[in-house]
Structure formats: C-alpha cells, structure tokens
Amino acid sequence: MEREGIKNVNPILANASDTGLPDQSIDLAFIFGLRYIAGGLENLISEMYRILKPEGVLSFEKTRGSEKKLISEVERGGFIYSKKEARIFLFVKK
C-alpha cells in the first residue's frame, strides 16, 4: 500500500469472530484461510455482518469443501452471493 501510495486502507489483524470493531465500520472484509474453523462459520459470518456497512462486501477464499455449502452458509448469515473470481467468492451485505 505504501509503495502504491494507497492511503485509504487500514489493514488490521483481529480475531475474525470477535474483531472489537464498531458496528457498520468497514466497507470490505477479506477472509482467507478460515474455511474450517472450530465451532463453524456462524460466529464469523455474524461478526462480519455486524461490522460491515450497508452494502459492504465480504470476500471469502474457498479452500476446501462444497462451493454450494459455502454460499448457502454465508447467505444464511445475511449476505447475497455476488460472484466468484478464481478461488475468491464475493458476497454483499443485504
């Protein structure tokens, strides 16, 4: 980001199921390498829904398992499947 002069991005490292961020405070969340987590995806998806602004984007890397199951789980959490680019699935907050 520094090399490219990008100044409107603030990367954070946080527990994806409990970020500590304010409600509706981010535009975009990238979730990578967390397809299978202890306790399932429900808490993670719930937290992403809480912190994303209206019409915010959740970008999810698919690593293993059924694509249909991933889409169904994320949509059940309040997101709309938008598209897939390679291994990256994009969802928009309803």
Is pLDDT above 60 for 21?
A: yes
Query: 26-93 sits in which CATH class?
Result: alpha beta
pLDDT of residue 84: 95
Domain ranges of the chain: 26-93
Structural element, H or E, at residue 79: strand 79-85
Span of 3-7, 44-48, 71-75 with lowest mean pLDDT: 3-7
Provide the whole-model pTM.
0.84
Distance, CA of 74 to CA of 10 (rounded, Å): 24
Three-state secondary structure call for residue 93: strand
The pLDDT tens digits of the residues spanning 22-34 come to 999 999 998 887 6
Distance, CA of 53 to CA of 23 (rounded, Å): 8
pLDDT range class, residue 35, cuts 50, 70, 90: low
